Amino acid sequence: MSNFTVFEYTQSMRIPLVIEYFFEGEKIADPAAFFEKNPGVFELFFPSHEETLDMINKKILYYQTHKLIVSEYGFYLIHL
């Protein structure tokens, strides 16, 4: 599954999801462009696509009160 499939999946939902990506402590402003310019970074450092989709699906339960942070260290649900 490609990175773009993950992004398209999250954008296809009718509910607003706040998902932020961080790498080496810095927020990635444009994740799609970042991962396109740095091929392999997602697969090497970030959780697997299956884990990411699973966390996004779990996040849907909390979309009104939390945002999902994804980094090379895993996932965090942050209260808004």
Domain ranges of the chain: 3-79
pTM of the model: 0.65
> Which token pair is 14?
């009718």
Taking CA 63 as the corner, what is the angle to CA 23 and CA 4, rounded to the nearest 5 degrees? 45
**H helix or E strand, kind and range, residue 53:** helix 49-59
Half-sphere exposure of 12 (CA within 13 A, CB side): 9
pLDDT at residue 1 in the model: 47
67, 20 Cβ separation under 8 angstroms: yes
Measuring CA to CA, which residue among 74, 68, 53 is closest to residue 1? 53
9-65 pLDDT, tens per residue?
Answer: 666 767 666 778 899 999 999 888 898 898 888 888 888 878 878 887 777 777 778
